[in-house]
Amino acid sequence: MKTVYDFAVKDRSGKEVSLSEYQGKVLLIVNTATGCGFTPHYEPLEAMYKELKDQGFEILDFPCNQFANQAPGDVEEIHNFCTLKFGTEFPQFAKIDVNGETADPLFAFLATEKPFEGFGKGVKNKMLEKFSNMNNKAFGDKAYIKWNFTKFLIDREGKVIARFEPTVHMDEVKEAVKAAL
């Protein structure tokens, strides 16, 4: 059975990193953007990272510009923004695509393991779903991720155990992480 440990990604400098380096840890893999309404998620993500990293927890941050061009900078500009504005210390990787023919294989795998089930109820969530559908039309059946700050929780064996859309409250994400630890 395939796990996240079967994948390699590029770090900020372009060097290939095997995710097997994170074997035995609980991971939260996130596609991010610096100019999104969900960008403030960096703050609770960093707080969770600081609190739980010594228990074997890692957040893997993958900037992506496929959602209304909300991550337009290069990888260093994005990194500087995140560290200066939110004090992020968790690993940030190279900017990637998460949808379409150029989608990073890791994200295609994650989304296949835990497909999109909706943004939830409420007017804001319905509006995001409509906007997301318009944005992602170009990707057809390869629209794996619906918006920025989609989070995938990975257990210590490398299996995808949960998917959290950006509309899920960060307290719920944190509780799931703690349960996985």
Extract the tokens encoding 100. Answer: 């379409």
Give the gyration radius of the chain's Cα atoms: 15
Q: Which of 36, 68, 94, 161 is catalytic?
A: 36
Whether 36 is catalytic is yes
Neighbour count for residue 95 (Cβ, 10 Å): 20
136 touches 31 (CB < 8 A): no
* Nearest C-alpha neighbor of 82 from the set 34, 151, 37, 47: 34
* Nearest C-alpha neighbor of 46 from the set 82, 13, 17, 80: 82
Extract the tokens encoding 9. Answer: 């990604």
What positions carry a catalytic annotation? 36
